[in-house]
Amino acid sequence: METERRGVLLASDGPGRPHAAFSWPAAGEPATPAFETRTADLALPRRAGGKPRNIIVILTDDHRYDAMGFMGTQDFVRTPVLDRLAREGAHFRNAFVTTALCSPSRATIFTGLYAHQHRVVDNNHPIAPGLVFFPEYLQAAGYETAFIGKWHMGLEGDDPQPGFDRWVSFKGQGDYWPNGDGLNVDGERIEQDGYLTDILNDFALDWLESRTREKPFMLFLAHKAVHAEFYPAPRHLGRYDGASFRYPETMTAGVKDRPMWVENQRNSWHGVDFAYHADLDIGDYYKRYMETFLSVDEGIGRIVEHLEARGELDETLILYMSDNGFMFGEHGLIDKRTAYEESMRIPMVARCPALFAGGTVVDEVVANLDIAPWLLGVAGLEAPGWMEGRDLAPLLAGEKVAWRESLLYEYYWERNFPQTPTVHAIREDRYKYIHFHGVWDIDELYDLQEDPLESTNLIFSPGHEAIVERLNAKLFDTLEATGGLQIPLPRDAGERNILRNAGAAGLAPFPADLLKRLAR
């Protein structure tokens, strides 16, 4: 009997890298899912007095938490529309993802589950049969729904997915400029005629303008931007050429008690010394990144203008967020995947005067895990009990509620990018403990209050032993309680980015604290 196969399109992660399609067997799924499987009845209980609000979610790719104008991290960055949303709405200062990788993060956004629960643990694993996405509940409750943009979750193609009345997508990662694959519009193939960010913005506006207002709506606009390679729209190319980039303080090599794998990754596909196997200047690359984002900000502005013209702006929840962060030299690395702040922390702003006041700042740790239950609440529905995330409404209302004391982070080693091991972490308000699986190396502990840049690893620091022991126990307690004590093993597939620069730094020395001298 021939094995059924499932596949995804693994997109290029850097300059000059082709797209690579690959597949793997669909067999071997655990017998008991951590979620409620799809049934004929998707009706959720309605909240007493809850008014269904219009919802617009705008999701970008690889946009780091501080890459917004009002954050002031780089003087030249301009994001006027996001700045307006934060000023007139809410800024979630401590927003995170539970896995800093495209497919797992997106699946978490749509389900309110950890990656080890929904099982889309990397860009290769298929969507588990029967997995329910929150738009299906909205659709069942009478919402008109649309998905426009990057799906890139557990499948090779771009076929319409459950929960959406309108569907516009593309294969895998897509391309900023036409690559011959085109777009899938409600199951029909059409050509991609122009710059992708602008095209997606146009489709979003067309759908919003076509609405009759008979039903509440949910638009999910998922951009390819700002994923590498960074290609700004021609009107924005070179905008920041003369700007000065501030390189991160932690970019220095040879930091005491930095894990070997981190130091060795400097000279790799995801390191500053051999970035994407090329001679790449991180500062110039960041400038192209922010130029590429300008068309996203403009598109959000067009949506705001449309809602204003229709008198719907203040009654509509607009949520902007990213699927993960991105490192530009921090710890000598680029990309995401790690549990460092620049990788797992995301920008997140929202506006809806009918629900919360302008100028709201939420300091609590929130996550992509919380999006599904929160948006179901915005729709006047009670979230299903199997979701791990929590409703953000009380935080936006300024209520003093018991909130999570820590957040679990997970990333599972990929053979395609073997530089980063399996990572689990517990992030509290003050301390972060990072635990590695499958490497002979040291773990990490950071005091985020005293060391927000995560520059001093306290794992061997006298006086911190009890903290390490406590957080290690909390990590495994959380994994055990949520069914996460199994490490997934995917089949070998796809291209491997495993080269080192022979002319750059060699291997890092073995950690001094693990060396023992024998008495003579």
- State pLDDT tens for residues 39-80: 657 999 999 988 999 999 999 999 999 999 999 999 999 999
Name the nearest CA neighbour of 53 among 358, 296, 351. 351
Pick the CATH number of 54-400 from 3.40.50.720, 3.40.50.10490, 3.40.720.10, 3.40.190.170: 3.40.720.10
- Please report the pLDDT score of residue 490 as a whole number: 79
* Cβ atoms within 10 Å of 357's Cβ, excluding its own: 12
Q: What are the Cα distances from residue 180, in Å, to 23, 186, 189, 225, 280?
A: 21, 18, 11, 19, 28
Rounded to an integer, what distance in angstroms lies between the CA atom of residue 371 and that of residue 97? 11
DSSP type of residue 159: -
Three-class SS of residue 272?
Answer: coil
Sign of CA dihedral 167, 168, 174, 179: positive
- Spell out the residues 6+ positions from residue 378 whose beta carbon is closer than 8 angstroms to its own: 52, 53, 55, 317, 352, 355, 393
Q: Which residue has the tokens 């943009």?
A: 149
Rg (CA), the chain: 22
Rounded to an integer, what distance in angstroms lies between the CA atom of residue 5 and that of residue 516? 49
Rounded to an integer, what distance in angstroms lies between the CA atom of residue 39 and that of residue 55? 25
Rounded to an integer, what distance in angstroms lies between the CA atom of residue 38 and that of residue 348? 30
- What is the maximal distance between C-alpha atoms in the chain? 86
- State pLDDT tens for residues 178-208: 999 999 999 999 999 999 999 999 999 999 9
Q: Using omega within 30 degrees of 0 as the cis cutoff, is the peptide bond preceding 226 cis?
A: yes
Name the nearest CA neighbour of 15 among 227, 173, 229. 229
Rounded to an integer, what distance in angstroms lies between the CA atom of residue 361 and that of residue 520? 62
128: tokens are 């588990």
Rounded to an integer, what distance in angstroms lies between the CA atom of residue 125 and that of residue 104? 9
- Please report the pLDDT score of residue 14 as a whole number: 42
| DSSP states along 390-438 | ---HHHHTT------SEEEEEE--BTTBTTS-EEEEEEESSEEEEEEES
Q: What are the Cα distances from residue 7, in Å, to 131, 172, 488, 493?
A: 17, 10, 16, 10
Looking at the DSSP assignment, which residues form a beta bridge with residue 46? 381
For 31-46, b/e burial (b = at least 16 CB within 10 A) is eebbbeeeeeebebee
Q: Are 197 and 205 in contact (CB under 8 A)?
A: no
Rounded to an integer, what distance in angstroms lies between the CA atom of residue 367 and that of residue 344? 10
Three-class SS of residue 46?
Answer: strand
First to last CA, the chain: 64
Rounded to an integer, what distance in angstroms lies between the CA atom of residue 55 and that of residue 356? 14
Rounded to an integer, what distance in angstroms lies between the CA atom of residue 170 and that of residue 192? 9
pTM of the model: 0.92
Domain ranges of the chain: 54-400
Rounded to an integer, what distance in angstroms lies between the CA atom of residue 112 and that of residue 58? 17
- State pLDDT tens for residues 131-155: 999 999 999 999 999 999 999 886 6
Q: Which residues of the chain have pLDDT under 50?
A: 1-31
- Please report the pLDDT score of residue 8 as a whole number: 32
Main-chain phi, psi angles of 331, to 5 degrees: 60, 20
Name the nearest CA neighbour of 219 among 112, 121, 299. 299
- Spell out the residues 6+ positions from residue 291 whose beta carbon is closer than 8 angstroms to its own: 230, 232, 236, 237, 238, 239, 240
- Please report the pLDDT score of residue 514 as a whole number: 94
405: tokens are 């004391």
Three-class SS of residue 292?
Answer: helix
454: tokens are 């995560």
- Spell out the residues 6+ positions from residue 16 whose beta carbon is closer than 8 angstroms to its own: 229, 276, 278
- Please report the pLDDT score of residue 4 as a whole number: 37
Q: Are 160 and 151 in contact (CB under 8 A)?
A: no
